[in-house]
Amino acid sequence: MRGLAMRSSVVPLVILLLASAGMTGCARTVLDSSAVDEWSGDEAELEYWEHLESQRVVTNHDALHGLLMLADGADPHETYEQRLADARERAWMAGEAAPGANESAAIGMMAVAACDILSVKGGLTMRLFGPSPRYCTRELIFMDILPQRTEHQSLSGLEFIDLVGRIEDRLAEESGSGKE
């Protein structure tokens, strides 16, 4: 009887723990603000990278600003909504869901942007169904631009700067202006 009573008190606790783990496990980290909120103009580019360096995760807003600067050499937009609309136009993001500006950016979204910037054609699946977060992430890992990661993970500010630098190096190599 005593064992049964003990079991009956443990089972709800385990269920509660599993439920709480399941609920928080799917949520993304949200920061109070993004670096681009303060440092958004082209002239503030160096300050933006400097502040991003110390951020524990890169947010959607920061990621879009950095990737747009990489793609075009400048980011003319002023708000997150404008950047999001531009990203949708470039097919960096699918669907109508709008991720939060200060929510941590998923590697998958950044990988799709990188595939677009680098004009990666990919393998059979990508050629048949177009670039997707999962397959673009795998392509970047294959190209040695990303280490082993999955599309749902996030990057720290320092990692994002490194990713952007690696994409820029690859662009320079492909255009023939890379280092020896």
Partner 1 sequence: MKGMQTRCAGQSVVVSAASLILCAVANGQGLLPAKTDHKETTPAEAAPGQLGPRVPRPVLALPDGQTKRLQALVIDVQGRAQWRPSNKAPWKNAKVNDLLDPGAGIRTGLRSSITMRVGKNATILVGRSTRLDLPQILQEGAVLRTRAAVRRGRADFKVDLVGLTNDFAVLTPTTTLAVRGTGFAVKWGGLEGVQIEALASNVIHAIEVRYLLTRLRYYLSGQAVSRESQPDPVEAALGKTVSRPIAGALSETELLAELQSQRAVDYSRIGLESTVALVASFEPPQMDEPDGMLPQGFLLAMLICDNFNEFFVAYQNVLDSELGFNSLFQVFQFSQLVDEIQAFCEQLEQFDGDPFQFILNQVTAFCDTYAQGAGHDTSHEVELCISLFHDLLDGFADDGL
Q: Which residues bind partner 1 (CB under 8 A)?
A: 45-46, 49-50, 53, 69-70, 73, 146-147, 155-166, 168-169, 179-180
Residue number, 169 or 174, with CB nearest to partner 1 = 169
User: From the CB of 25, what's the least distance to partner 1, in Å?
Assistant: 24
- Residue 47 is inside which H or E element, if any? helix 45-53
Min dist. Cβ of residue 71 to partner 1 (A) = 10
Residue 49: name the closest of 168, 173, 172, 171 by CA. 168
Distance from C-alpha of 90 to C-alpha of 99, rounded to nearest angstrom: 16
Rounded Cα gap, residues 169 and 175, in angstroms: 10
* Tally of CB atoms within 10 A around 112: 30
Q: How far is the CB of 147 from partner 1 (least distance, A)?
A: 6
Nearer to partner 1, 12 or 68 (CB): 68
Distance between CA atoms of 136 and 96, rounded to whole angstroms? 20
Residue closer to partner 1 (CB basis): 70 or 101: 70
Minimal distance, residue 73 CB to partner 1, in Å:
7
